[in-house]
Amino acid sequence: SEVADQLGVMHSVEALKAITAIDYIAPTSDENVTVTDTEFSNVAVRLYLPRKPSDGLRRAVVYFHGGGWCLGQAGMKSYDRLTRWTSNRLNAVVVSVNYRLAPKYRFPVQFEDVYSVMKFFLQSSVLSQYGVDPDRVCVAGDSAGGNLAAAVAQQLLEDSEVKTRLKAQALLYPALQTLDLNLPSYQENENKPVLSRLFMVKLWSEYFTSDSSLREAMASNRHVPVESSHLFQFVNWSNFLPEELKKGHVYTSPAYGSSELAQKYPGFLDPRAAPLLASDAQLRGLPLTYVLTCGHDVLRDDGVMYARRLQAAGVPVTHDHAKDAFHGVMMFVSSPTELAVGRRLLNRYIGWLNENL
C-alpha cells in the first residue's frame, strides 16, 4: 500500500481497503442466527438476531469494528465471526455498525455515525421491536472501534434525550488518546506487528486530515500547543501505569507544537476522538467496563491508563491484561490462522459479557 502511494497510483489507505475487501462476506444466516444488512438512522449496520427461543427479553451488544477509522467493515470474515459468535453464545441481539471511513470522511463523521446508531437503537420502541431488555445493553469495539465505544459511552451521559442507560462497555485494545505518542508501549512496540508506531501515527493523522504536517508533528510528538498543556495531566503515564509497565522509562512531557495545527484540526484535542481527555467528573457515571490490553501493542498504555482512571472514578472495571498478546489478536481465531491466545481472549471477552450483561 505504501509503494502504491509513493508511485502515485493510489492513496495508501485506499490500497489497504482494496486488500481488505477480499475478506468481505455477504450477510449469511445459519441455524443459530439470522443475519441481515440494513440501516439504523441512515447508517449501514449488520444485524444479528438469534433464533434460539428466549425466556424473556434478550441482551444486546452494539459493536464498532476496528481499522484505524480508515479500514474494516462489519462484513469482514473476522468481524462477522466475532459478532455472530457473540449473538449465538449470548442469545443476544448484535448490531455491527458500518460507519463511514477516512480518508473520504474525517472526524467527527465516524463518531457521529456510531452515535446516531446508538441513540436510534436505545429508543424504547426500537428495543421493543427487537425484544431487547433496556437494562441489558452493551456498547463494544476493538482498536478504533474501542475508541468509538468509549466516546459514545461518555457522550450518552451528557445527552438528556437518551432515557435508556448502558449496562456495560467493552473496550478491546482501544486507542484512547492523541496527546502523547511516545508512551512506554509506543517505545517498546515501535516495530511490532500488527500495528507499528508509525502506522498508528498515520491512522491517527488520517482521522483528522490528509495534511502531512500533522502526521509529521505527531511522529515527532510535537503536535500539542502550549495552551493545551493542561490536558497532559490526563495522559501522564507516570501517574497511571503500574511499576511493571514503567520499567526503566522516565516520564518527560512532550515538546509543544504549533498552535496553527490545533486550530486547523482541533479534533485531536477533542474527547470524542481521545476519550482519555475526559475529566474525572465526566468518567464517574460510566457503566460497568471491560478493558482488554495486550503486552505487545503500542496501544497497551492507553487502555491501562483508562482502566486506572475509571477505577479511581469509582467505575466497576475488569482490566484483562494479556502479556503474551499483540494488537488485533482476537481476529486470528479461525483456521488457517487459529492462534490459541486469540481464542483464549475471545472466550474471556464473551465470558465477561455473559456474566455481566
Q: Where are the domains of the chain?
A: 1-179+263-356
pLDDT for the residue 19 = 72
CATH number of 1-179+263-356: 3.40.50.1820
d(CA 186, CA 177): 12
The residues assigned a catalytic role are 143, 297, 327
Q: Which residues of the chain have pLDDT under 70?
A: 4, 9, 335-337
63, three cell numbers: 459493536
Position 246 scores a pLDDT of 95
Give the integer Cα–Cα distance in Å for 123 and 266. Answer: 31
Residue 118: the pLDDT is 98
Quick check: 150 and 169 in contact, CB under 8 A?
yes
Residue type, 173: Y
The reported pLDDT for the residue numbered 200 is 97
**Residue 109 burial (C-beta neighbours within 10 Å; 0-12, 13-18, 19+):** middle
Residue 343: Cβ-neighbour burial (10 angstroms; 0-12, 13-18, 19+) = middle
The span from the CA of 96 to the CA of 63, in Å, is: 5
Is residue 113 within a helix (H) or strand (E), and if so which, with residue range?
Answer: helix 109-121
Cell of 278: 475526559
pLDDT at 142: 98
Flag whether the pTM goes above 0.85: yes
Task: Please tell me the distance from the alpha carbon of residue 271 to that of residue 309, in angstroms, as a whole number.
Answer: 15
Contacts of 239 (CB under 8 A, 6+ apart): 233
Residues 268 and 223: beta-carbon distance below 8 Å: yes
Say what the pLDDT of residue 182 is.
Answer: 97
Pairing of strands 43-50, 93-98: antiparallel
pLDDT of residue 108: 98
